[in-house]
Structure 1
Amino acid sequence: MQLSYWELKNWFTNIDYTIVGSGIVGLHCALNLRERFPESKILILEKGILPQGASTKNAGFACFGSLSEIIDDLKNHTEEEVIQLIEKRWRGLQLLRKNLGDSAIDFKPYGGYELFLKDDESTYNECLQKLPFINEIIKPLFKTDVFAKEVDRFDFKNIQEYLIFNPFEGQIDTGNMMQALLKKAISENIMILNHANVSSFSDKNSNVEIVVNDYSFETKKLLFATNGFASQLTNNAVKPARAQVLITEPISNLDIKGTFHLDKGYYYFRNIDNRILLGGGRNLDFEGETTTDLSQTEKIQNKLEALLKNVILPNQDFQIAHRWSGIMGIGNSKNPIVSQLSENVYCGVRLGGMGVAIGSLVGKELAELI
């Protein structure tokens, strides 16, 4: 990469903080660093045209976990850990709304619903049985009951009698959120370079040498906010997890409004612009979906279409308008990793599919490591 004197001077000289990843975490990290160090030179490197992971590809759920997901988490985490996770997600959502404003992210407090397929009676019965207990342990956080039984009013088919309703859940416009974040970062004199692929780095104790597109430069501190791609450079215990998504063409008289969860959160759908957006299916092929490849598979796409036809829109004609994939970062624990890797290198990764909820908070915590 041949650079001019002007390019070297303005973009690659005397850099205080370099952040890898221009998603929710990276941008919030940069904004928090700017607040703390007003005169610093901050550079964000992004390998894609847009954030490459899930920040511009997620479903736009302002959620903190469905009832079945929380019950499932209690099987692998302590009660205290699960409550802390929910609190962190809830605080993160409030921070995101405060930082950007509800109108900028098109926040809609429609509530969230969980539905259960006819053949999933065991999960359904377990959720109804444990609903009072879950409400009790998270009541100190919300000051009231969160989950309640509701009769299906959306005309879904092949599901159990009751839905579980959560009035604290909402939806956002993911594209609007990221545009608002990017505008805010640029207005705060934070430099963002796209198509900047970091291939290696070396902590020299006094600074960090970074190699980008075959060009090397130095920065005082290096911060990784690459989530599902974290293991490629940082050797963290983070596995990529692909989420496949589709969206329908506009549907006249669509009477579905809210965010909806199915099968412990492995499937999720919502209304947007008179369309249904539906994603998930990673549980059909855990090994195959542990990838950073952004393509789709026939097996999962067929399952998503079957859910649309047999459960979500059984009495309506629909056409698929578009399909895409995003890459999440997961691991053995749902707790994010926010840590110092060496003298001048830090990371905030492993958001566990909850980037919208905790991304702003993880970005803030990452900046506070400095």
Structure 2
Amino acid sequence: MNLSYWEIKTWFSNVDYTVVGSGIVGLSCAIQLKYKYPKANVLVLERGVLPQGASTKNAGFACFGSLSEILDDLKTHTEEEVFKIVKKRKEGLDLLRKNLSDSNIDFKQFGGFELFNCDDNELFEECLSHKETINKLLKPIFKESVYSIKSNIFEFKNIKPKYLLNQFEGQIDTGKMMQALLSKAQSNGIRILNSITVEDFVCTNTHVEIKTNYFNFKTNKLCITTNGFAKQLLDEEVKPARAQVLITKPIDKLHIKGTFHLDRGYYYFRNIDNRVLFGGGRNLDFKGEETTDMIETKRIQDKLEDLLKTVILPDKPFEVDYRWSGIMGIGNQKKPIVKQVSNHVYCGVRLGGMGVAIGSSVGVDLANLLD
């Protein structure tokens, strides 16, 4: 692709900061850089027509962890580490809501519910026995008890009659959130170019030379925020994890309201526009879902439909309207990777499926590393 003098002069001359990825982290980083350095030339490159990872593909859960997930985390993290993880997620959600406003992201705090399979007695009893301990651990963050026991008021079947409520969990409209972030970035003079893939980069003593699928250019600093696609550019401990989702057509008198977690959080669903959005099933094929291929598989989609029929909507007919997948970035640790990679290169990746919760704060933290 041959660039004209005008294109080079307007878009690719004197670029101070280049951000790779226009998801939550990338746009939050770019906006924070503009706040810090109002006169800086900030450029965002996005490989897709829309953000390609999980920012526009997620289920819109404004959550920080079900009780079973926190208990799982305590098996590989200290209490202090888990406390900091949850605190970071809570602060990230607060920052997202403050920056964009609840109305612009359609934030609703209907609560989050953790359901348990009828035969999952061990996990259910473990959660009940540790509920007050975890409430005590998290009380300094929320000032109240987080988890409580509730009865099955939503008429689900083939689950235990009691489940756990997280009163602080909410939900957002993912599309509205990303639209608001894009609008805020552009209104601050940040240039965003889509369908541009960064193929490689070379860091010199004074700048970074970037090679894309269309052209090459120079930038003073480079920020990589591609999360699940990070391995394509970085040698960091992060691997892709595909999340498959479906959504039903509108359902008359839909009785579901809130966000719901099932089977240790490997399945999750919610209400949206009188529809049920349902995702998960990665635990059916962990290795196969470690991919950046954004397609759906029959095995997982069939399982999602089966659970809709037998658990979520047992007495209601439904039709699937849309199916899609998104790519998360995960690793052995829940803490995201926010660091300086080399002289002029930085990254903010491995959000562990919590991009809505921590994406804003990771972007700000990343920007604050730069000078």
Normalising by the smaller structure, the TM-score range is: over 0.9
Aligned mates of 1:295, 1:119 — CA distance in 2: 32
2:8 aligned with 1:11, yes or no? Answer: no
Task: Supply the distance in 2 between the matched residues of 1:15 and 1:77 (Cα, whole angstroms).
Answer: 41
CA shift for structure 1 position 77: 1.0
Aligned twin of 1:188: 188
In the other structure, the counterpart of 2:99 is: 99
Q: Which amino acid aligns with 2:310?
A: N
**Shift of the alpha carbon at 1:261?**
0.6
Partner of 2:362: 362
8 Å Cα contact 2:231-2:238 kept in structure 1 = yes
1:108-157 per-position Cα deviation (integer Å, ceiling 9, x unaligned): 11111110011211111111111111111111111111000000100000
* Partner in structure 1 of residue 227 of structure 2: 227
The residue aligned with 1:109 is 109
Alpha-carbon distance in structure 1 between the residues aligned to 2:205 and 2:150: 58
Q: Gaps (5+ residues) in structure 1?
A: none
Cα displacement (A) at 1:177: 0.2
Work out the CA distance in 2 between the residues paired with 1:42 and 1:144.
41
RMSD (CA atoms): 0.6
- Counterpart position of 1:198: 198
1:157 and 2:135 matched: no
1:20-47 CA distance string (max 9 Å, x none):
0000000000000000000000000000
Q: Which residue of 2 aligns with 1:130?
A: 130
CA distance in 2 between partners of 1:53 and 1:121 (Å): 36
1:238 aligned to 2:235?
Answer: no
Distance in 2 (CA, whole Å) between partners of 1:283 and 1:314 is 23
Query: Aligned equivalents of 2:281 and 2:258: distance in 1?
Result: 20
Matched, 1:347 2:347: yes
- Corresponding letter in the other structure for 2:254: L
Question: What do the CA deviations read for 1:291-327 (whole angstroms, capped 9, x no partner)?
Answer: 0000011111111111100000001000000100000
**Where does residue 326 of structure 1 map in the other structure?**
326
Look up the equivalent residue of 1:354 and give its one-letter code.
Answer: M
Q: Give the percent of matched residue pairs that are identical in Structure 1 and Structure 2.
A: 64
2:81 aligned residue: 81
SS at structure 2 position matched to 1:309: helix
Q: Which runs of 5+ in 2 are unaligned?
A: none
Cα distance in 1 for partners of 2:214, 2:113 equals 49
Cα offset for 1:264? 1.5
Aligned to 1:207: 207
The DSSP-based 3-state class of the residue aligned with 1:13 is coil
Query: Structure 2 matches for 1:17-32, cutoff 5 A?
Result: 17-32=17-32
- Runs of 4 or more off by more than 3 Å in structure 1? none
Alignment pair present for 1:250 and 2:250: yes
TM-score (norm 1): 0.99
TM superposition shift of 1:369: 0.5
Q: Which residue of 1 aligns with 2:218?
A: 218
Take 2:140 and 2:213, find their aligned partners in 1: how far apart are those partners?
Answer: 50
Whole-Å separation in 2 of the counterparts to 1:216 and 1:311: 53
Hey, what does 1:293 align to over in structure 2? 293
Partner in structure 2 of residue 168 of structure 1: 168
Secondary structure in 1 aligned to 2:369?
A: coil
Q: Which residue matches 2:270?
A: 270
| Residue 214 (structure 1) shift | 4.2
Contact 2:196 2:214 in 1 (8 A): no
Deviations 1:213-265 (A, max 9, x none): 24211000000000000011011111000000000000000010000011121
In structure 1, the residue matched to 2:315 is 315
Q: Give the Cα separation in 2 of the matches to 1:305 and 1:120.
A: 21
Query: Residue 341 of structure 1 aligns to a residue in which SS?
Result: strand
Give the letter aligned to residue 298 of structure 2.
E
